[in-house]
Amino acid sequence: MSSTAPAPAAAPAPPARGPQAPPRLAFLLPGQGAQRPGMALGLYGVEESFTAAVNEVLDLYGPEGDRIRGDWASEHPAVPLDHVSRAQPLLFALDYALGRMLLAWGARPAVLLGHSAGEAAAAVLAGVMTLPDAVALLAERVELIADAPPGGMLAVAASEAEVAPYLTDEVVVGAVNAPAQLLLAGPEPQLTAVAGALTADGVVCARARATHGFHSPSMDDACRRHLLSVAAVPLRPPAITVLSGYTAAELTADQATDPEFWAGQPARQVRFGPALDRLLAAGPCHLVETGPGQSLSALARRHPGVTRGGSTVVSLLDARARGPHRDRAALLRAAEHLAALGHLSDPDAVARLRAALGTEAGASTAVRPRFETPARRSAP
């Protein structure tokens, strides 16, 4: 009998791994305050899906849509773009159109997060309400807000606890964008008085681009009058996860189908900062600002969930509108980056975009990109 021990069995080969899916993709949709003259104008009439979606929105306004389009394209608009009757319809149209454009390229967002009026565009992209219903509601809401008492918003570099002694029944925290980045809101002259007190005590503050005290009690009457119209619109649970900027939590089916939830938003505090906390706490995420400017991108780039690595921020457009060539160059850079990250399932999307934008965009891509992967930056 042999005393030789049997040879050990060979270890099983590890299972073959396919390509790993990229981190979640989230659309960030900006609201009032992101408006700028000429915003995204360089894409209009050039990128097909974007142009079609903008026209789809503005055509639903009838003759007013032509006036909105004219003011958007004009260096001397008849109605200033900061006025609610221009800012909100245009921002909604651009948020929606840029979202539709990304979807046409094969992007599949796991989460939609809107800031203020940006949540209306998120609701349409997620299928909570139809585009015609959303436009009709927004048109009425804008009229009601325009009739509200004049007021404004004040950007304050302080925490909620630090500003609490300065608040009144009428001047409140309208938005929490980051732990020490707030927007106060209220009517005049009360807001001016609060701004003076903060400045006297050395608190840094500055007026925001708003003609009314959004997200404050001065909007209560407009919200009450708006409720009946919202109640007449069919509402559905979201087909894409919506992280509400008002609750800083996932939009539930009950909330999505509750007319009071939507009608009351102009008077309700925006909690974008806590919502962003929740989004990034769930793991790595690729965030794309699906709207004009970089207001939300800037907030996201400074967030610890991004600065410590793993998550990336992409802006479709420059921080300021700098002409058609810059718009096209910025969009092409963003598309190339999203494709490299694995988020565009249409393999020909970038090539088609490059052909549509022409050589002008290609020649402009030497401009430094406005997105980055923080994990690759050296420590300060």
Cα separation of 74 and 376, whole Å? Answer: 41
Asked if residue 363 has pLDDT above 60, the reply is no
Higher pLDDT, residue 11 or 227: 227
Q: Where are the domains of the chain?
A: 24-148+215-372, 151-207
Q: Is 4 exposed, middle or buried (0-12, 13-18, 19+ CB in 10 A)?
A: exposed
pTM above 0.85, yes or no: yes
pLDDT on residue 322: 78
Asked if residue 1 has pLDDT above 60, the reply is no
8 Å CB contact between 98 and 152? no
Cα distances (angstroms) measured from residue 278 to each of 222, 224, 303, 342, 373: 30, 30, 12, 23, 20
Higher pLDDT, residue 129 or 379: 129
Average pLDDT value for residue range 189-218: 96
Asked if residue 368 has pLDDT above 70, the reply is no
Q: How confident is the model at residue 15 (pLDDT cuts 50, 70, 90)?
A: low
Say whether domain 24-148+215-372 belongs to CATH 3.30.565.10: no
Q: How confident is the model at residue 96 (pLDDT cuts 50, 70, 90)?
A: very high
pLDDT on residue 361: 53
pLDDT on residue 22: 84
pLDDT in tens, 280-323: 999 999 999 999 999 999 999 999 999 999 999 999 999 987 78
pLDDT on residue 21: 73
Asked if residue 143 has pLDDT above 70, the reply is yes
Cα separation of 156 and 174, whole Å? Answer: 11
Average pLDDT value for residue range 348-372: 63
Same fold, 24-148+215-372 and 151-207: no
Q: How confident is the model at residue 17 (pLDDT cuts 50, 70, 90)?
A: low
Average pLDDT value for residue range 77-84: 96
Q: Is 277 exposed, middle or buried (0-12, 13-18, 19+ CB in 10 A)?
A: middle
Percent of the chain with pLDDT over 90: 86
Higher pLDDT, residue 63 or 376: 63
pLDDT in tens, 369-378: 333 333 333 3
* Phi, psi values for residue 145, rounded to 5°: -65, -40
pLDDT on residue 364: 39
Cα separation of 332 and 306, whole Å? Answer: 23
- CATH, range 151-207: 3.30.70.250
Q: How confident is the model at residue 35 (pLDDT cuts 50, 70, 90)?
A: very high
pLDDT on residue 369: 32
Asked if residue 65 has pLDDT above 50, the reply is yes
